[in-house]
A = this chain, B = another copy of it.
Amino acid sequence: MSRERPAFAEISPSEFFYRNRELAGFTNPSRALYSAIRELVENSLDAAESARIKPVVEVSLQPEGDGLDPRPYVLAVRDNGPGVDPVHLPNAFGKVFFGSKFTLKQARGMFGMGGTMAILYGQITTNRPVTIESSVDGVTLHGYRMLIDIEHNRPLILERWSREAGGWHGTYVRLTLEGDYTRAQQKVLEYFRQSAMATPYAYLSFTDPLGRRVEHLPAVDTMPPPPRETLPHPHGLDVEALRRIIRAAKQRTLHELLYKNLHRVGPKIAMKFLLHSGFDPNRDPSTLTNEEITALARALHEYDGFLPPDASCLSPLGEELLVAGVRKELRCEFVTAVSRPPAAYSGYPFIVEVAVAYGGELQNGVRLYRLANRIPLLYDESSDVAWKVITEEINWRRYRLGDNPPISIITHICSTRIPYKTVGKEYVADQPDIERELRNAVREALRRLSHYLSKKSSLEMAQRRSNIYQRYLPLIARFSMELAGRGRPPDYRKLVAGQGVEMRR
């Protein structure tokens, strides 16, 4: 028998994402422009915050030549972060699956490939090298001009240099990519506005292709505490992860292994768990068979005596910063924010924060702003868990907000692991625990708004009543005075004051 059999080949990670770039949000010249800006800005914000520096990120986008869209654009992003060590710099931007995001820690980036994808997209559409400069000490700056060798997934350095940094530390990336700003403009500007809302302590500027600069100044002086890296929680542990812990461990007993390597597992709980599930606490972990490791992982999953993951490793915005950010960017009449207590899904801690804004410069209708680990999510709204909550799970009538009220709802989910459904980070899956927290937070915020509005409306009623008294009481007083033949009217001002409303002068 002789049949045509398929030809097999191996491709590199760069090659995979080169072929399937729409998976990472690089679908067309408009979307790709948006994605490139966003990936670089998020890298900059993550870097600055991880070093506790208040971020200053400057972005500029200049067209090349004067053709029509889509056309080549030069995108440059400069930050004041801690910079990248020159040893890592070429790989960090020229190698897919090389990065600093592969830890259990809250960060905007999660897949560790956004920056490289932006550079890769620029290269395949314009064939231009990228320029990267970075300084870690403010003294020396290192620069590279490079391409990505897609077939081998490695940077191809064309030129390198170093010079005085003049006190600047941070990273600067300049690349050329084919883009369509005419179509992308609205999303890009919205992205900056919402990013500013989510990072009210940052300075963000964007110089558009016509040279106009949009600046978002910091509204507050404090930063939320930075997220910390954390150990894995037993409920989030799979067999592979457990096997790695065992292999890397120096501990001689199972008991010690558990309480030294797992989140929220101390010596006492570890002992209780081991006795409950029938493992010998003194067993040498390195002697466990494959079957025993599997049984141990399963037992860790199912044991309900562990404390839930704690959220001290997370960095929510906090009600105060969220209110400041929303008020600054939306210029509303009223805003309230609700931070839910920490919760967890499959061993990953998360915190949900929700703000509700009302009136002021808001337009009529309910608008949703979605944030996840301080990233604005602007695409595929109707697939997001927050959309599901506000359209399906809120009984809007009970809050008596009137017809078509001018409301914005801002949701923020932060977690060591946001359950995105695409590498492009467009929307969050409807994980039931996250859904529940969102629902509770939105309801609480709407209750507060409802309370504010009913107070405001009773104030207005009182005001109207007072206006009527104010108009007629003087007349009645005068008539009464005349009827009674007395020379002085009764003191009606007290009556009005009794309504709890001050008289107008």
A238 and B294 contact, Cβ closer than 8 Å, known pairs A12-B97, A99-B8: no
Q: Does A394 contact B (CB under 8 A)?
A: no
The 8 Å CB contact of A98, one of B8, B51, B100, B110, is B8
Q: Does A324 contact B (CB under 8 A)?
A: no
Q: In the bound complex, do residue A421 and residue B84 qualify as a contact, i.e. CB atoms below 8 Å apart?
A: no
Taken residue by residue from 378 to 392, chain A's Cβ proximity to chain B (1 for < 8 Å, 0 otherwise) reads as 001011000000000
**A: number of interface residues (CB 8 Å):** 74
A100 and B239 contact, Cβ closer than 8 Å, known pairs A22-B429, A382-B382: no
Q: Does A293 contact B (CB under 8 A)?
A: yes
Q: Which B residues lie within 8 Å of A53 (CB)? A: 3
The 8 Å CB contact of A423, one of B23, B137, B293, is B23
Q: In the bound complex, do residue B3 and residue A97 qualify as a contact, i.e. CB atoms below 8 Å apart?
A: no
Q: Does A27 contact B (CB under 8 A)?
A: yes
The 8 Å CB contact of A240, one of B18, B97, B422, is B18
Q: Does A212 contact B (CB under 8 A)?
A: no
Q: Which B residues lie within 8 Å of A84 (CB)? A: 5-6
A180 to chain B, nearest CB (A): 14
Q: Which B residues lie within 8 Å of A420 (CB)? A: 22-23
Q: In the bound complex, do residue A7 and residue B100 qualify as a contact, i.e. CB atoms below 8 Å apart?
A: yes
Q: In the bound complex, do residue B240 and residue A123 qualify as a contact, i.e. CB atoms below 8 Å apart?
A: yes
Q: Does A127 contact B (CB under 8 A)?
A: yes
Taken residue by residue from 137 to 153, chain A's Cβ proximity to chain B (1 for < 8 Å, 0 otherwise) reads as 11000000000001100
Taken residue by residue from 149 to 174, chain A's Cβ proximity to chain B (1 for < 8 Å, 0 otherwise) reads as 01100000000000000000100000
The 8 Å CB contact of A10, one of B91, B150, B293, is B91
Closest to A48 in B: B3
Q: In the bound complex, do residue A239 and residue B8 qualify as a contact, i.e. CB atoms below 8 Å apart?
A: no
Closest to A13 in B: B13
Taken residue by residue from 412 to 434, chain A's Cβ proximity to chain B (1 for < 8 Å, 0 otherwise) reads as 00000001111100000100000
Q: Does A19 contact B (CB under 8 A)?
A: yes
Q: Does A483 contact B (CB under 8 A)?
A: no
Q: In the bound complex, do residue B97 and residue A10 qualify as a contact, i.e. CB atoms below 8 Å apart?
A: yes
Taken residue by residue from 79 to 94, chain A's Cβ proximity to chain B (1 for < 8 Å, 0 otherwise) reads as 0001111001001100
Q: Which B residues lie within 8 Å of A484 (CB)? A: none
**Residues on A facing B (Cβ under 8 Å):** 1, 3-13, 15-16, 18-20, 22-23, 27, 47, 50-53, 82-85, 88, 91-92, 95, 97-100, 102-103, 110-112, 123-128, 136-138, 150-151, 169, 238-241, 243-244, 290-291, 293-294, 297, 380, 382-383, 419-423, 429
Contacts A6-B47, A126-B239, A150-B240 known; list 10 others, CB within 8 Å. A3-B136, A4-B82, A5-B83, A8-B99, A9-B102, A10-B91, A10-B98, A20-B111, A20-B423, A124-B241
8 contacts between A and B (CB under 8 A): A3-B51, A3-B136, A4-B52, A5-B83, A5-B84, A9-B98, A22-B419, A382-B382
